[in-house]
């Protein structure tokens, strides 16, 4: 299959994975880096590879690299900003804050399982293959993650 068809077919899924972990601008960069890496690896890729699971794994790793890099960099400021007065009604409508914050607060393995299975639509077996974990471990992480989200969002 030509590489441009792979991008067309799986681009939206890769972008959802990136956006579930990163801010929109960073997610776009991680999406690009994912497909650049995929293009470089494309000639040596095994023909039997599950492309979607492989791309989701690459995207997740690229996104985690961005998060790790952000944590390492100091952000210098001359003057500390005043805390915001609170969001306007339009800002509240524009944010998907509560759920996104809850998902980001999950431990890494739970977040990865919840995002891949419930948001990306991959089966537990596909998530297990993409992450190198057992299906049982992925099911448990997904279940625990959903339980944690229910607790956080209903309290």
pLDDT tens by residue, 17-50: 999 999 888 999 999 999 999 999 988 988 888 9
Return the CATH number of the domain spanning residue range 90-155.
1.10.10.10
- Mark 91-106 as b/e (b = at least 16 C-beta within 10 Å): eeeeeeeeeeebbeeb
| Among 111, 5, 125, residue whose Cα is nearest residue 60 | 111
Question: pLDDT by residue (tens digit) across 52-103?
Answer: 999 999 999 999 999 888 777 777 888 877 876 766 655 555 556 787 888 8
On whether the 1-74 domain is CATH 1.10.3720.10, my answer is: no
Which residue ranges make up each domain of the chain? 1-74, 90-155
């Amino acid at each position: 299959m030509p590489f441009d068809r792979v991008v067309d077919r799986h681009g939206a899924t890769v972008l959802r994975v990136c956006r579930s972990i990163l801010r929109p601008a960073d997610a776009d960069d991680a999406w690009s880096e994912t497909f650049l890496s995929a293009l470089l690896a494309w000639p040596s890729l095994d023909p039997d590879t599950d492309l979607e699971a492989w791309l989701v794994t690459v995207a997740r790793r690229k996104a985690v690299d961005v998060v790790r890099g952000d944590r390492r960099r100091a952000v210098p400021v001359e003057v500390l900003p005043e805390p915001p007065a609170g969001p306007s009604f339009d800002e509240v409508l524009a944010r998907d804050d509560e759920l996104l914050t809850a998902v980001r607060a999950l431990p890494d393995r739970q977040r990865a399982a919840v995002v891949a299975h419930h948001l990306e639509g991959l089966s537990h077996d596909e998530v297990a293959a993409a992450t190198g974990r057992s299906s049982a471990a992925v099911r448990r992480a997904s279940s625990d993650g959903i339980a944690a989200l229910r607790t956080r969002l209903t309290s």
